[in-house]
């Protein structure tokens, strides 16, 4: 698996023009550190590309995006992926866990998901007379 990730990183770094700058810079920096693209404990629900694009000012050379989120990102209410609204989750489920000990995203992954907690507000769907629908 790690060998495949290294090959993928090499190909991505070679095709720089196809990637947004923060993502390319992070991949280049992590590839230089030994080819580890993701921390072994990074959950699949965490979106590195989204986090880097929405937070271009973080220093990705010292911390992986997930480590940055765990240390300071959740206190700044930064989004770990496009489908997780950290403010909404805190407003609706913050009373069910100790916010000073666990961040909302970790709570969702460990307990909230299995309890049926939703990571974002409900999305409105408009139906028309035709068979198609669109999300608002």
Band (pLDDT 50/70/90 cuts) for residue 125 is: confident
Higher pLDDT, 30 or 110: 110
Work out the average pLDDT over 108-123. Answer: 92
pTM > 0.75: yes or no: no
Dihedral sign of CA atoms 122, 127, 131, 136 in order: negative
In the predicted model, is pLDDT for residue 108 greater than 90?
A: yes
Which two three-digit tokens encode residue 44?
């699949």
| pLDDT greater than 50 at residue 35 | no
pLDDT of 72 higher than 80: yes
d(CA 4, CA 136): 39
Which has more pLDDT, 15 or 106? 106
Distance CA(108)–CA(46), nearest Å, equals 12
Please tell me the predicted confidence (pLDDT) of residue 64. 84
Token duo for residue 129? 């007379």
Across the range 29-46, mean pLDDT stands at 63
Q: What is the pLDDT of residue 63?
A: 81
């Amino acid at each position: 698996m790690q060998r495949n990730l290294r090959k993928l990183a090499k190909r991505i770094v070679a095709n720089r023009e196809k990637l947004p700058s923060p993502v390319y810079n992070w991949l280049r920096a992590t590839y230089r550190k030994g080819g580890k693209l993701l921390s072994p404990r990074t959950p699949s629900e965490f979106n590195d590309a989204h986090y880097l694009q929405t937070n271009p000012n973080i220093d990705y050379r010292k911390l992986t995006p997930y480590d940055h989120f765990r240390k300071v990102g959740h206190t700044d209410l930064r989004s770990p992926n496009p489908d997780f609204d950290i403010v909404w989750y805190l407003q609706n489920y913050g009373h069910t866990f100790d916010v000073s000990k666990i961040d909302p995203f970790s709570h969702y992954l460990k307990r909230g998901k299995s309890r049926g907690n939703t990571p974002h507000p409900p999305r409105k769907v408009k139906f028309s007379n035709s068979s198609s629908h669109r999300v608002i």
